[in-house]
Amino acid sequence: MVKPKMGAQKPKLPELGRVRDRMTFLYLEHAKLKRQDSAIQVVDQRGIVFVPVALVSCLLLGPGVDVTHRAMELIGDSGTAVVWVGEQGVRQYAHGRALNHSSRLLEAQAKLVSNQRSRIMVARKMYQMRFPGQDVSGLTMQQLRGKEGARVRDVYREQSVETQVAWTRRVYDPNNFEAGTPINQALTAAHQALYGLSYSVIVALGASPGLGFVHTGHDLAFVYDFADLYKAQTSIPVAFQVTAKHPDGQNISSITRHAMRDVFKDGKLLSQMVTDLKNLLGVTDVELETDMVHLWDDRLGLQKNGGSVP
pLDDT exceeds 70 at position 6: no
Binding positions for Mn(2+) are: 148, 215, 228
pLDDT at 285: 64
User: Rg of the Cα trace of the chain?
Assistant: 22
Q: Which amino acid is at 58?
A: C
Q: Find the mean pLDDT for residues 170-192.
A: 86
Tens of pLDDT, residues 145-157: 999 999 999 999 9
Are residues 178 and 134 part of one domain?
yes
pLDDT (0 to 100) of residue 13: 45
Q: Does a structural domain hold residue 116?
A: yes
Looking at the fold, whether 79 and 151 belong to one and the same domain comes out as no
CATH of the domain at 177: 1.20.120.920
Same domain, 124 and 87: no
Whether 69 and 120 map to the same domain: the answer is no
HEC per residue, 18-58? CHHHCEEEEEECCEEEEEECCEEEEEECCEEEEECHHHEEE
Is residue 189 situated within a structural domain? Answer: yes
3-class DSSP string for the chain: CCCCCCCCCCCCHHHCCCHHHCEEEEEECCEEEEEECCEEEEEECCEEEEECHHHEEEEEECCCEEECHHHHHHHHHCCCEEEEECHHHCCEEEECCCCCCCCHHHHHHHHHHCCHHHHHHHHHHHHHHHCCCCCCCCCCHHHHHHHHHHHHHHHHHHHHHHHCCCCCCCCCCCCCHHHCCHHHHHHHHHHHHHHHHHHHHHHHCCCCCCCCCCCCCCCCHHHHHHHCCCCCCCHHHHHHHHHHHCCCCCCHHHHHHHHHHHHHHHCCHHHHHHHHHHHHHCCCHHHHCCCCCEECCCCCCCEECCCCCC
- The 10s digit of each residue's pLDDT in 195-215 is 988 888 888 788 999 999 999
Could you list the residue range(s) of the whole structural domain that residue 212 is in?
104-288
Shared domain for 77 and 113, answered yes or no, is: no
Looking at the domain assignment, is residue 125 inside a domain?
yes
Q: Evaluate if residue 307 carries a pLDDT over 50.
A: no
CATH number of the domain enclosing 90? 3.100.10.20
8 belongs to a structural domain: no
Within a domain: residue 5?
no
The reply to whether 61 and 133 lie within a common domain is no
Q: Do residues 149 and 182 share a domain?
A: yes
Binding-site residues, in ranges, read 148, 215, 228
Mean pLDDT calculated for residue range 226-234: 95
Is 72 in the same domain as 143? no
- Is residue 134 located within the same domain as residue 245? yes
Residue 309 pLDDT level (bands cut at 50, 70, 90): very low
Number of domains in the chain: 2
Write down which residue in 41, 64, 95 finishes a domain.
95
pTM: 0.75
Judge whether 304 lies within some domain: no
For residues 186 and 127, membership in a common domain is answered with: yes
Specify whether 151 is located in the same domain as 29: no
Does residue 15 register a pLDDT over 50? no
Query: Same structural domain for residues 84 and 117?
Result: no
CA distance 100 to 25: 14
| 29 neighbors 59 (Cβ within 8 angstroms) | no
Who wins on pLDDT, 85 or 70?
A: 70
